[in-house]
Structure 1
Amino acid sequence: MEKLIAIIIGYIFGNFLFALIVGKYFLHADPTKAGSGNPGTANVGAVYGKKWGFLTLVGDALKSVLSLLITYLLFKNQLLLAYCGLGLMLGHCYPVVNHFKGGKGVAVVGITILAVDFKTALISLLLALVLVIGMQNLTIPPIFFTFCFVAVNLYNHQLEIALVIGLAGIVMIHKFWKDIIDFIQGRGKRVDILFSIKRKLGLLK
């Protein structure tokens, strides 16, 4: 019963799609009808500007933190944080409030993993950032980050945590499927993080 409650808490909070909230109350626009049509941080940032993309990211991060905090205060159990994260992922990616059409859940999974096991998540995140820089791609690294965390928990015999986060990872793969195919076929969008940082710091002539 506690596991189900944790999933329900996560699913309810997951339904708050801040891409839609920012679009409606700040931009007076519908992000599902612009750009890629995805109600997430990347699409809002690409279509309406980085400021609004960042605000969307902050909102999605806060809903994740709040739902995980409520679950922790209720149960004080690491495994149930993972179940709450799965609910968050399902609510964010398949929200009933938007006809089950939601975002891709990168921030949601990232924050869940950090809450469940901060040290393992941090190492996985650093490896994913190296991949982002090396591959110049934003599709594969989040999936790697998630399943690297799963692999470590399997190694540490945390089988149920690995299973629950693995299910969240499968949801992410489903949402990223078109992007994965584009990457495999060489059509994936390239993002040069180092170039962007150097340009911001004024190191490029």
Structure 2
Amino acid sequence: MLSKFLAVIIGYLFGNFISAMFVGKYYLHKDPTKYGSCNPGTANMGAVFGKKAGILTCIGDLLKTLLAICLVYAIYHQHLLTAYTVLGVVLGHCFPVFNHFKGGKAVAVTAMVTVLYDWRAGLITLLIALVLTAIMQNLTIPPLVFMLSFSIYQLTKSLEPGLAFLIMTAVMAFKFRYDIRDFFTGHGKRVDILYTIKKKLGILK
């Protein structure tokens, strides 16, 4: 029990490193919470400040998640603790005490951990989310479908990690609550992830 608690705490501390805030302060010299959707995450950084800012933010979020997982595994050598570690990272990323509990939505974080925890299920659910994103042109529902599907699958295999992933899904849903409302009321933002491909193929001028 102590190891699980410490895994969550370690993950939470790493999660408090909000990459978007770091990129905004030292690279852009701007506060990302005052632009676009005001969300300090990869999607908003890329949409408002360009691909490079979005990529740097994503790399930072992935790196902090990987470092947290590696540290806990180096201490305890237990695969199960990966789920608890990332639960902590997600909580820290979404509700960072060092940023007044105003964080991102943990899409990049959860995408990475699902592949690390169970690469087959992770890749399959990510592929489903990618297809849904292309079809729906929406960045809210596909990530939630992806995490819920992965969580339910893990729950059928083992109760503890399955519950941990379900809690992560619930946290993401809470952070996406306004986007979910906008989607179902017809006010959701549409994002065509195939735009660049279509343009290169000459479908769009």
TM bucket normalised to smaller:
over 0.9
1:94 aligns with 2:125: no
Counterpart residue number, 2:13: 12
Matched, 1:109 2:110: yes
- Are 1:15 and 1:97, in contact at CA under 8 Å, matched by a contact in 2? yes
Question: CA–CA distance in 2 between the matches of 1:61 and 1:162?
Answer: 21
Counterpart of 1:185 in structure 2 is 185
Quote how far apart the aligned CAs of 1:31 are. 0.8
The AA in structure 2 aligned to 1:162 is G
Q: How many residues align?
A: 204
Bigger mean CA deviation after superposition, 117-126 or 85-94: 117-126
Equivalence map 1:129-144=2 (5 Å): 129-144=130-145
Cα distance between partner residues in 1 of 2:80 and 2:48: 38
- The one-letter amino acid of 1:117's match is D
Does the CA contact (< 8 Å) of 2:32 and 2:39 recur in 1? yes
Q: Given the two structures, how large is their TM-score scaled by the length of structure 1? A: 0.95
Q: In 1, distance between residues paired with 2:197 and 2:103?
A: 30
User: Partner of 1:145 in structure 2?
Assistant: 146
The SS at the match of 1:193 is coil
Could you tell me which residue of structure 1 aligns to residue 22 of structure 2? 21
- CA 1:201–1:172: 2 relative to 1, 3 Å: same
Which whole-Å CA distance do the structure 2 matches of 1:113 and 1:48 have between them? Answer: 28
Cα distance in 1, alignment partners of residues 67 and 96 from structure 2: 18
Partner residue of 2:172? Answer: 172
Distance 1:74 1:197 in 2: 45
Structure 2 residues not aligned, in runs of 5+: none
What is the Cα deviation at residue 164 of structure 1? Answer: 0.3
Superposed counterparts of 1:66-105, under 5 Å: 66-105=67-106
Post-superposition CA distance 1:121-159 (Å, at most 9, x none): 111111111111111111011111111111112222x11
Q: Would you identify which runs of 4 or more consecutive aligned residues in structure 1 move more than 4 Å?
A: 200-203
Map 1:25-36 to 2 at 5 A: 25-36=26-37
CA contact (8 A) 1:89 1:109 kept: yes
Q: How does 1:113-124 map onto structure 2 within 5 Å?
A: 113-124=114-125
Distance 1:7 1:188 in 2: 33
Q: In 2, are the aligned partners of 1:82 and 1:113 still within 8 Å (CA)?
A: no
Does the 8 Å CA contact 1:89/1:105 hold for their aligned counterparts? yes
Gaps of 5+ in 1: none
Answer yes or no: is the 8 Å Cα contact 1:37–1:43 preserved in 2.
yes
For 1:150-165, what aligned pairs fall within 5 Å after superposition?
150-156=151-157, 158-165=158-165
SS in 1 for 2:105: coil
- Cα deviations by residue, 1:3-26 (Å, 9 ceiling, x for unpaired): 011101110110000111011111
Structure 1 CA distance for aligned equivalents of residues 5 and 194 of structure 2 = 43
Q: Which amino acid aligns with 2:162?
A: A
Contact in 1 for aligned 2:156/2:162 (Cα 8 Å): no
Identity of aligned residues (%): 55
Cα deviations across residues 84-120 of structure 1 (Å, max 9, x unaligned)? 0000000000001110110010011111211211111
In the TM superposition, residue 203 of structure 1 has moved relative to its aligned partner by: 5.6
- 2:11 is equivalent to residue 2 of structure 1: no
More moved, 69-78 vs 162-171:
69-78
CA distance in 1, matches of 2:66, 2:151: 20
What RMSD over aligned residues (CA atoms) do the two structures have, in Å?
Answer: 1.3
Between 32-41 and 85-94, the greater mean CA deviation after superposition: 32-41
